[in-house]
Amino acid sequence: MKIFLFVIFCLLFALTVGENVKGTVQLNSGVFDKIISKHKFVLVKFDETYPYGDKQDTFKSVAEACIAQKDLLIAEVQIADYGDKDNVDLAERYGVPTNKDNLPVYMLFRLGSDQPVKYTGDNLDADDIKKFIMTESGLWLGLPACLEQFDRLVKQFFKASADGKSKLIAEAEKEAESLTAEKDKASANMYIKTMQKVVEKGADFVGTEIERLEKLKSGKLSDKKKEQIGDRLNILATFSVSKDIKDEL
């Protein structure tokens, strides 16, 4: 009986203390503005107190992917709609619902901007949240199958003239020759072929191809085929992000 009570006590204590997610900071009304105003970009997750489950696992995955990005801080605001109603004032300030069924809500704060950008995608899709961050900030986070040096070439690609695009494709082909890992070679080939298709068919090819692959992925496919399509979609996301990237970054 004593052991049982001790286990219950430990569980209750863990819930009371809450979880400290690696690579993140907890914010409250007292320090929120001080922290936000010191960082170039801050992704804030507004959530219930003591979040858990699949949505919290997604948050951990996003935080882990962002640890190395020095210009981005990942933060969490836990809202209590009972008792002292901690951080409800922050929820009201940014139009965040306090009902836990409508949480979490992600918002990206940019230094110098009064209003954050709200994420409206799937709270269970870590890659989609990362794509949102990349689109709105211009920062590189990296998705499975993506190569940083090629992502940088893609960012230049959409700003280049027709002649410049041809030179960048040639640069990408030369860069691909230096790769040794088969998976990296396959990724590089996807980048190059996509660049060539954009030159041939225009920038709208990216969106059209994403739609085609999303439909294909939803069908009955082997796990390996789904993984291949997922890799291609991640690389296409880089093209989509670079095409729509915010100007001032």
DSSP 75-107: EEEEE-SSTT-TTHHHHHHTT---SGGG--EEE
Q: Are 42 and 108 in contact (CB under 8 A)?
A: yes
Quickly name the fold that domain 148-244 has: Endoplasmic reticulum protein erp29 (1.20.1150)
Listed in order, the ranges of the chain carrying CATH 3.40.30.10 are: 19-137
pLDDT confidence tier of residue 7, bands split at 50, 70 and 90: very low
How far CA 59 is from CA of 43, 77, 105, 123, 191, in Å, comes to 11, 13, 11, 8, 28
Helix, coil or strand: residue 46: strand
10 vs 178, more confident: 178
How far CA 116 is from CA of 96, 106, 201, in Å, comes to 12, 10, 35
DSSP 29: T
Average pLDDT on 194-212 reads 95
Listed in order, the ranges of the chain carrying CATH 1.20.1150.12 are: 148-244
Residue 74's DSSP bridge partners are 24, 43
Query: What does the pLDDT read at residue 19?
Result: 63
Q: Which residue has the tokens 């209003």?
A: 115
> At residue 46, what are phi and psi to the nearest 5 degrees?
-90, 125
pLDDT in tens, 96-146: 998 888 999 999 999 999 899 999 999 999 988 998 998 889 888 878 899
pLDDT confidence tier of residue 42, bands split at 50, 70 and 90: very high
Average pLDDT on 181-198 reads 96
Query: What does the pLDDT read at residue 5?
Result: 44
39: buried, middle or exposed (CB in 10 Å: 19+, 13-18, 0-12)?
A: middle
Which residue in 80, 129, 125, 154 sits closest to 217, CA to CA?
125
Pick the CATH number of 19-137 from 3.40.50.2300, 3.40.50.1100, 3.40.50.970, 3.40.30.10: 3.40.30.10
pTM: 0.72
CA within 13 Å, CB half, 11: 6
